[in-house]
Structure 1
């Protein structure tokens, strides 16, 4: 049996503890404090769906903001779905995650970080959202394990009422806020509607093989 190998550790700002990068053969895992797995390279289906479903709704040309690089699956899916004149800004809070993407996980990255349509912004995605009114056709949030602030309490600012109002203001007319979560949340659905979004709550397979566990994706669009 192949054992897990620890490849690196990164500190999450604002009291988020440490992330650990692990590898077992060709499988990678990023772990949060307490041994909680945040992501695994074998489970990319829902991260890809986050991008595909949003871009289906807004069209293939435009500016997409991806909050949280992770293992790059959402970025890769967005680039595959978008046209040559589009832009993708990836906001990543932890610089080491990008280092891992260019280093041991380069095969997963598949050149997405070097695509001319891609810009990497190191920092809090919430700050980018608040600073750019009317800038994005889609905002894709795969931050933490969903809207509960598991690894970093400050992430609650992205998903609370003020954060959702800022996201709505940052979208262009007809834009979509897409949010990934490891589990459903009726409270978050209610919060999205309270912020003035029309909401679809979707259950999607975690694996690209269309079996096994499910994750939740919200598609929140501006009301017509």
Structure 2
């Protein structure tokens, strides 16, 4: 494995964002770090794709999907492979990350963001969801931090709390779902979803990360067909 080299760096009110390049054999790998903490890379993308795949399986008509957190674009890419998706709103708070995908610093970014179904908002996902008409989305995917127990940014804590998740239910159309990604098992998160949604489940997602076997977790809250007009 080659020594990582910095590709791009940016500062924001949330701190430092760094994109690095390394080589695993002959393969180029991009790695994203926030305030020195590993966030994701292009070598292991199964958890980002699983977030989309398992979420899309949770609803029969995911016509309008919201993805909270652009990252390196792999969750969005997986969402767009589903022909049922007519519109995908992506909310990313870091302008630099959006720029790196738009300008090709992340090579697959320009083609991904050119998909006409994509609406990209540079904003706080909590603010976007709080201002949304009710209901708006068939499916909401939240991958904005490492989960409530391993926050990179303390300000993201509210997204995992009971009040926010209960209020989020009203932005989801009947038959839809919310799916939350976490780096660790979080029984409290399952409890919040169980209290606010008709059904909730915890899904184990095994991954191999930088040569280590790890487990990530997906938390799903389902809204039933409760008679509200879609």
TM-score normalised to structure 1 length: 0.89
Distance 1:101 1:56, change over 3 A: same
2:91 corresponds to 1:94: no
Q: Which runs of 4+ in 1 moved over 6 A?
A: none
Q: Distance in 1 between matches of 2:41 and 2:205?
A: 16
Give the CA RMSD over aligned residues: 2.0
Q: Distance in 2 between matches of 1:56 and 1:194?
A: 22
Greater relative contact order (CA < 8 Å, ≥ 6 in sequence): 1
Distance 1:153 1:95, change over 3 A: same
SS state of the match for residue 97, structure 1? helix
Distance 1:197 1:124, change over 3 A: farther
Aligned position for 1:184: 185
TM-score normalised to structure 2 length: 0.87
Kept in 1: contact 2:93–2:122 (CA 8 A): yes
Kept in 2: contact 1:76–1:112 (CA 8 A): yes
Aligned position for 2:3: 3
- 5+ long unaligned stretches in structure 1: none
Kept in 2: contact 1:66–1:89 (CA 8 A): yes
Aligned residues: 217
Q: What's the CA shift for 1:110?
A: 6.7
Question: Residues 175-201 of structure 1, C-alpha deviation per residue, up to 9 Å, x if partnerless?
Answer: 100111111111111122122351111
SS state of the match for residue 206, structure 1? strand
- 5+ long unaligned stretches in structure 2: 226-230
Instruction: Say which one has the larger Rg.
Output: 2
Kept in 2: contact 1:135–1:170 (CA 8 A): yes
Aligned position for 2:57: 56
Aligned position for 1:22: 20
